[in-house]
Structure 1
Amino acid sequence: MKDEATHTTVDDHRDAVAPRRIGQLCRAEALRLLGSVSLGRIVFTHQALPAIRPVNHLMDGEDIIVRLHDGAMLASIVTPTQATGVVVAYEADVIDPDTHIGWSVVVTGYAHRVTDERELARFAGRLRPWVQHPSMNSALRIRPGLVTGLQLTV
């Protein structure tokens, strides 16, 4: 006698989750929610192609701060002397895997390298890197231009 495996299809999963409503978040609420988590994804251009890296962050007012270390691909996107910065996107979300209720925020803005020693010391005390790296000596400051947020509800 053959054992027949039970397979769950995408349609089966859709039936298990009730339809959701999507609401727009205002800028202030989107940034507040972004500040309630410490993990996100930064989107930038690397060799003329989009690249995405998971990073931890903190909020400094409306600005998003991400620590860097020398030699990382992310550290190469902005030079300390680059006045205009570089366009990046930053996304974070909290969506329950079972209920599919939650939120998602995307920020698009200019990233500038932070090199001021006092600012870096202030950030270092609040932003712990995932791994210890001896050359974690700078940070990116992302100044939000466009902020969009979605709230998923029942």
Structure 2
Amino acid sequence: MQLEPGEALRLLGTVGMGRVIFSQHALPAARPVNHIVDGEDIVVRLEDGGALAALAAPHDAPGTVVAYEADTIDPGTRLGWSVVVTGYASLVPDSDDRRCYADLLRPWVEGPASRALRIRPRLVTGFRLDVEQPSPTDP
């Protein structure tokens, strides 16, 4: 079942982890990150020197096109949901916002100073797996 964009963003806000999909050396790449949903925007933490640091477009630029995906699917029942957000990613310029996000987005490993990346959605899609699907081994 397809999800409306508002419901998809609401579900995204119920989990704390997802994957940023971006281009690295002209090839698709994905990295797991923790996130928060702030209004309709997705905010993730960037570690200086990490693979995602290259996505840090200046705040006055339109941003770098990325996708963000998160899901919750029970492997036993095969029930759950998946959401993909495609949009523009740019650094969070405001120092007060960065401090707030730093408190909310705890790093997995302590390291150098970090920044926050805001993804502004242009396309929000999602679906809910709400009916048990037959197993590939079922007749």
Shorter-chain TM-score above 0.5: yes
The one-letter code of the counterpart of 2:121 is P
- Residues 25/129 of structure 1: CA separation in 2 closer, same or farther (3 Å cut): same
TM-score between both structures, scaled by the size of structure 2: 0.90
Partner of 1:115: helix, strand, or coil?
coil
- Residues 81/149 of structure 1: CA separation in 2 closer, same or farther (3 Å cut): closer
Aligned residues: 131
1:61 matched residue in structure 2: 39
Q: In structure 2, how many angstroms separate the alpha carbons of the residues matched to 1:77 and 1:128?
A: 20
Q: Alpha-carbon deviation of 1:145?
A: 0.6
1:10 matched residue in structure 2: none
- Residues 82/48 of structure 1: CA separation in 2 closer, same or farther (3 Å cut): farther
Pair member with larger Rg: 1
1:7 matched residue in structure 2: none
RMSD: 1.1
Q: Alpha-carbon deviation of 1:78?
A: 2.4
Q: In structure 1, how many angstroms separate the alpha carbons of the residues matched to 2:40 and 2:59?
A: 23
- The reply on whether 1:123 has 2:91 as its aligned counterpart is no
Q: In structure 2, how many angstroms separate the alpha carbons of the residues matched to 1:29 and 1:145?
A: 15
Q: In structure 2, how many angstroms separate the alpha carbons of the residues matched to 1:93 and 1:120?
A: 26
User: Is residue 59–residue 93 contact of structure 2 (8 Å, CA) maintained in 1?
Assistant: no
Partner of 2:2: helix, strand, or coil?
strand
- The reply on whether 1:150 has 2:115 as its aligned counterpart is no
Deviation digits for residues 93-124 of structure 1 (CA, Å, limit 9, x no counterpart): 00001000000000000001113210101111
4+ long deviations beyond 4 Å = none
TM-score between both structures, scaled by the size of structure 1: 0.82
Greater shift after overlay, 117-126 or 30-39? 117-126
- Which structure 1 residue ranges, 5 or more long, are not aligned? 1-22
- Which structure 2 residue ranges, 5 or more long, are not aligned? 132-139
Q: Alpha-carbon deviation of 1:126?
A: 1.3
Partner of 2:53: helix, strand, or coil?
helix
- The reply on whether 1:89 has 2:67 as its aligned counterpart is yes
User: Is residue 46–residue 77 contact of structure 1 (8 Å, CA) maintained in 2?
Assistant: no
Q: Alpha-carbon deviation of 1:75?
A: 0.6
**Identical-residue share of aligned pairs (%):** 60
Greater shift after overlay, 94-103 or 72-81? 72-81
1:47 matched residue in structure 2: 25
